[in-house]
Structure 1
Amino acid sequence: MGRILAIDYGVKRIGLAVTDEMQMIAFGLTTIPESEIFDYLTTYIKTEKVDTIVVGEPKQMDNTASESEVHIKPFLVKLAEKFPTIPIKRHDERFTSKMAFQTMLDSGLKKKQRKNKALIDEISATIILQDFLKTL
C-alpha cells in the first residue's frame, strides 16, 4: 500500500502532508513555493509510492466554490497530466487555516512562530488529510 499525499494549494506556497504507508496517520511533510511544486512532487513520487493525491477544495459557506478555485483548476489539470496514474481527489478545506492557527496556539508556539505562514500551510494540509482519512 502506498501513501496518500495531501495538497493545500496556495498561489505563493503549497502545504503538503502525507500518510504513513498503512494510510492511518497523517503528518505534515513540508511547504514548497508554488513555482517549485512539480519538481518536488516528481522527486517525491519517484522515491515514495503514492496511491492517491488529495487536493483541498475551498468552498464558501453556501457550498459554492471559493474565489481561489480559479487558481486551483489549472494546477489540477497540470497535476493530472504529470501524474496520470495517480487518482486525484478533492476534499473540503473550509476552516483549515483557522484550525491550523488554533493548533499552533494550543501547542504553545510563540507569537513569532505563529506568524510562519509556511507552517500554517503545512498544518492545513495535515488537517485536510486527517479529515479525508475519516471518509475512507
Structure 2
Amino acid sequence: MRIMAFDYGTKRVGIAVTDPLQIIANPLTTLHPDKLWPFLHEYMQSEVVATFVVGKPRQMDGTDSQSAEHVVGFTRRLQREFPGIPVVEIDERFTSKMATAAISQSGMNRKKRQNKETVDTLSATIILQDYLNSKSI
C-alpha cells in the first residue's frame, strides 16, 4: 500500500508516491488539473493507496493563503471520488523554495531547472517526505 501526496495548484498538480513499504517518497508526475481525475482513477486500478496527503498552503503567520480555497475544493473532491481513503493535510510552507534549491544544487541543466513541472513534482515529494518523517517521530 502506498501513500500519495499532492502539491495542488490551479495550473499544475505535482504528485508523489511512496514505495509499497511506505519508506521512501518518490516523484511521480505533474499534471494539469483537468487530467488529474482520469489519471487517479487509472492509477488506483493497479496500485493500492492507503492515504492521500495534500499540501495546505499557509502564510508565514500560519493562516491559510489565498490559494488555500482551491486546495479545500480539491480535498473535498478527493474525499468524494475515493471515500475509503483518508486525506491528511500538511503545511506546505517553503516546499517550492526547497524544491527550487534542491534542483539548482542537483546539477540539472538550466532548461530543466526552470521547468515548473519539475518544481511541482519535487514539492509533492517534499510534502510526502515531511509527512513520512512526522509519522516516524
Taking structure 1 as the reference length, the TM-score comes to 0.97
For residues 85-100 of structure 1, the aligned pairs below 5 Å read 85-100=84-99
Q: Which amino acid aligns with 2:43?
A: Y
State the Cα deviation string for residues 101-128 of structure 1 (Å, max 9, x = none): 1111110112211110001000000000
Percent sequence identity is 49
Q: Does 1:70 align with 2:69?
A: yes
Q: Which amino acid aligns with 1:97?
A: S
State the Cα deviation string for residues 33-62 of structure 1 (Å, max 9, x = none): 111111111111111010000000111111
Q: Partners of 2:94 and 2:109 in 1: how far apart?
A: 22
Residue in structure 1 matched with residue 126 of structure 2 by the alignment: 127
Kindly report structure 1 stretches of 4+ aligned residues shifted beyond 2 Å. none
Q: Partners of 2:79 and 2:105 in 1: how far apart?
A: 37
Q: Partners of 2:89 and 2:69 in 1: how far apart?
A: 15
Give the superposition deviation at 1:32: 0.8
Structure 2 spans left out of the alignment, 5+ residues: none
Residue in structure 1 matched with residue 109 of structure 2 by the alignment: 110
Give the superposition deviation at 1:63: 0.5
1:4 is paired with a residue whose SS is strand
Q: Which amino acid aligns with 2:3?
A: I
Taking structure 2 as the reference length, the TM-score comes to 0.96
Q: Partners of 2:100 and 2:72 in 1: how far apart?
A: 26
Give the superposition deviation at 1:13: 0.6
For residues 11-50 of structure 1, the aligned pairs below 5 Å read 11-50=10-49
1:12 is paired with a residue whose SS is coil
| Residue correspondences, number | 135
Alpha-carbon RMSD: 0.7
Q: Partners of 1:58 and 1:72 in 2: how far apart?
A: 8
